[in-house]
Chains A and B, each alone.
Chain A
């Protein structure tokens, strides 16, 4: 009986151990599930948090276009200056050219995307090159090309080409003229339909200068006098979008016979004659540095019959520091800087 009793107690103890073990295993499996689910949820929450931070980073991306796109030598390349104004580095992965020129011809617009790989650190500024088969802008049809800069975080920064600001964005404009200039004025310039814009012929003559500023909404002119032989190029830097009047000195000569800008010549020439008349022309120019050529020796293929020696008066460039849609707004008083360019 003692033996059986011990055996019985022993087996009861074993049963308790077995039962307890199973309960422990069940509890362990529950705990394992708890640990797993906890980790999985934490991992999920971490991803959500990372994506939330990613969205915040994306919202903080900021790229400033320092100036409009500038054509570089040919019709297939634009240069755009970008600056990262955001607090994080920005990786540029692609650029797009939205070509709306076909729409004019009743065809679908073209979207062309090109891969790129460029990182802009905070406050860093870089120039990028946009390549497309052709850029053929015209001033009358604004925003023919939309340039998209696409970042790795999915932001799109857009600019336009040609980029022509609205009237109210005019600012003081700095002009740099490189070349030998002397104060000189030839009033005959304004005998070809332009005397109405000149008051009392009280023109302010400039001294030797290579730069000056035209305040907003004021107008100044530069006279490039060609009755002396000049074959060298001058350089004109426009820091803002500018409308330029070309006043040809000879009735039969077109303005492009006097001055050719080496940047995007076709674009400039296409717009000559906008307001009619053979010697009163208007053209809009982007802010850029242009090289001015005088005389047929500099552009024989473009001019042909033009002879600087026969140029009696030369060419006036009237630079208007504002966008003007009506000729009458020029008024009767225009202060001029009269500058003669000689060699």
Chain B
């Protein structure tokens, strides 16, 4: 009887150790996964934010190439610390859906370089009017340009 009592104590101790170990492993894994996910999330957000913060670009000018087709060529200067790619272009708030061949949208614009972007205006362009052209990069950084159409 005394011997059985001793064995049951050992078993109970082993069970306690097992529970502690399993619980510890579960908690440790959970904490690892949690911190890892948070690290990934934080790293992604910071990387995106850092990259976006390093973006600097502007439109140098716009030319109305084909007045019948509203073909416009924009010259974009990347003067930031990181390469950029343009994603969307808006004219007076209207998204541009149509681009010309080899339009340059989506192409990488290297640091300290210029790029011509060729678009078809989604709205009618009138001579001697002004239009607000906004371009947005893949990282979500936007830049606006007030384009005054010459009287031609």
Contacts and interface: CB of A to CB of B under 8 A. Distances in A.
Interface of A: 1, 4, 7-8, 11-12, 14-15, 18-19, 21-23, 25-26, 29-30, 32-33, 36-37, 40-41, 43-44, 47-48, 50-51, 54, 93-94, 96, 98, 100, 102-103, 106-111, 113, 148, 150-154, 156
20 contacts: A11-B10, A14-B17, A19-B20, A22-B21, A23-B24, A25-B31, A26-B27, A26-B31, A37-B39, A44-B53, A51-B56, A96-B75, A98-B61, A108-B64, A108-B150, A108-B152, A109-B63, A111-B63, A111-B73, A150-B77
Contact of A103 (B42, B61, B79, B152): B152
Contacts of A107: 152
Given A14-B17, A36-B39, A154 B56 contact: yes
Given A4-B6, A15-B17, A154-B58, A32 B35 contact: yes
Nearest to B24: A22
Contacts of B81: 50-51, 54
B: contact size bracket? 35 or more
A54 B24 CA distance: 49
A40 B46 contact: yes
A68 to B, nearest CB: 21
B63 A48 contact: no
A19 B23 CA distance: 9
Given A4-B10, A106-B152, A154 B35 contact: no
Secondary structure dominating the interface of A: helix
B108 to A, nearest CB: 17
Given A18-B17, A37-B39, A29 B32 contact: yes
Most interface-central of B75, B80, B112 (chain A CB within 10 A): B112
B67 interface: yes
Contact of B79 (A26, A29, A36, A154): A154
